[in-house]
Amino acid sequence: MRQVWIGRKGESSVLELREGASPEPGPGQVKVRVAAAGVNFADIMMRRGLYPDAPALPAVPGYEVAGEVVAVGTGADPAWVGRSVVAMCNFGGYSEEICLNEAMVWPVPAGIDMVAAAALPVNYLTAWQMIRVMAPAGSGDTVLVHSAAGGVGQAVVQLCGLSEVTVLGSASPAKHSLLRAQGLVHVFDSRARDFAAAVRVATDGRGVDIALEPRNGRWIMESYQSLAKCGRLVLFGFSAAARGRRSGTLSALRTLAGVPWLKLNPIRLMNDNKSLGGVNLGRMWDQQARTARWMESLLELLAAGRIAPVIDRVLPFSAAATAHDRLENRQNIGKVILVPDGSSLRDDQPQSTEEALES
């Protein structure tokens, strides 16, 4: 049984493909033969030593998998065996086999392939928590999502598309045409400073109802200033701290130094009639019953064809470094997926814009 390990913090070259013993499911667990594993920015932060909830290194990254249940532990329903499932895991997903709590496993709807299933949990649950729970986006609302071409950004775009919600976004210029083709009414350069003024112009001076900010640091205040009255800002990442070879403790400290610790205080929020929230799916493990309901709703939407994860690349475990580099260098459009070496699902070629939109 092969796994991708992070042996020590550092560049993507520290990722290692290792052989390990096949795990046995414990009480209440199911054993999944992994067909596909999602790659997320939390894995990059873990590798950089910047993710506080990560296990001590060396460790196996990976928050989500899809595959087939091949065994169950004591107390788990034996009917799981032979079923195609999608699952959340508290790291360890870059593995050919993994044992998981039965409560964090869901059947994959008929007709859904393993790659699409593995792309669903982290990105779409994060998007759901933001625009369905923390800052519900209703008909007529305007949403600004940064990193709109990334996995979470694409999930937000699709969920907003289910109702009459106007979407603005930011991304690197090379991705702007894709986002416009997806219906975003305005697209900004994600590296441009002072974008709040541009958002005001794009919204006829009003601002947006909801702003979703993954970068943290100095970008928080910019997004806050983009809000209309009664607007809601939701923070969902710390990605400004991970910028390739410049990443590390100093980059994290610089990002933290940019946080408007004193400016966004309770008095200001009251006087401005705005609100501030945060989402960290990794801190929702004690809310399994609640997140399970969200996941079931997302699987229904997936089965009905109302959402469809955009897949950037499908790479073998042995190319995990390439997968990490695509995310860390902001090259991806949508989700990067890892599959066991030798899998027929492997596709080392990037999708064209047209293919991404049709997937």
Residue 241 is predicted with a pLDDT of 66
146 with 108, same domain?
A: no
326's torsion region: left (phi>0), alpha (psi -120 to 50) or beta?
alpha
42 with 61, same domain?
A: yes
Residue 237 is predicted with a pLDDT of 84
Does residue 292 fall inside a structural domain? no
Which contiguous run of DSSP H or E holds residue 177?
helix 176-181
37 with 114, same domain?
A: yes
Q: Which of 174, 172, 216, 206 is nearest to 191 (CA)?
A: 172
**Is residue 224 pLDDT above 80, yes or no?**
yes
**Averaged pLDDT, 83-98:** 97
CATH number at residue 151: 3.40.50.720
Q: In this structure, what token pair is assigned to residue 280?
A: 């960290």
Report residue 200's pLDDT band, with 50, 70 and 90 as the boundaries: very high
Q: What is the distance of C-alpha 171 from the center of its chain?
A: 15
pLDDT digits (tens, 9 = 90+) for 261-292: 999 999 999 999 999 999 999 999 999 999 99
CATH number at residue 8: 3.90.180.10
Q: In this structure, what token pair is assigned to residue 52?
A: 């506080």
The amino acid sitting at 154 is Q
Report residue 338's pLDDT band, with 50, 70 and 90 as the boundaries: very high
Does residue 20 fall inside a structural domain? yes
107 with 132, same domain?
A: no
Does residue 198 fall inside a structural domain? yes
Given the structure tokens 């994600």, which residue do they identify? 190
- Answer positive or negative: Cα dihedral of 327, 316, 280, 307: positive
Q: Is the peptide bond before 58 cis (omega within 30 degrees of 0)?
A: yes
How many Å apart are CA 179 and CA 310, to the nearest integer?
Answer: 12
Q: Which of 211, 238, 209 is nearest to 223 (CA)?
A: 211
Q: How many domains does the chain have?
A: 2
- Answer positive or negative: Cα dihedral of 346, 93, 14, 258: positive
Report residue 352's pLDDT band, with 50, 70 and 90 as the boundaries: very low
- Cβ neighbours, 10 Å, residue 163: 12
Domain boundary among 282, 317, 343: 282
Largest CA distance in the chain: 61
Does residue 300 fall inside a structural domain? no
156 with 278, same domain?
A: yes
15 with 111, same domain?
A: yes
Does residue 299 fall inside a structural domain? no
DSSP 129: I
Owning domain of residue 316 = 2-120+309-358
CB 145 within 8 A of CB 188: no
The amino acid sitting at 210 is I
**Is residue 350 pLDDT above 70, yes or no?**
no
275 with 146, same domain?
A: yes
Does residue 296 fall inside a structural domain? no
Domain boundary among 244, 267, 282: 282
* Burial (0-12, 13-18, 19+ Cβ within 10 Å), 353: middle
Does residue 325 fall inside a structural domain? yes
Report residue 245's pLDDT band, with 50, 70 and 90 as the boundaries: low
Residue 316 is predicted with a pLDDT of 98
How many Å apart are CA 358 and CA 46, to the nearest integer?
Answer: 32
**Averaged pLDDT, 95-121:** 97
Average pLDDT, the chain: 93
Residue, of 238 and 187, whose pLDDT is higher: 187
Going across the sheet that includes 208-213, the strands are: 186-189, 166-171, 142-145, 208-213, 227-235, 275-278
The structure's pTM equals 0.93
How many Å apart are CA 182 and CA 261, to the nearest integer?
Answer: 36
91 with 174, same domain?
A: no
234 with 328, same domain?
A: no
Does residue 200 fall inside a structural domain? yes
Domain boundary among 263, 282, 301: 282
201 with 157, same domain?
A: yes
116 with 130, same domain?
A: no
113 with 24, same domain?
A: yes
**Is residue 56 pLDDT above 70, yes or no?**
yes
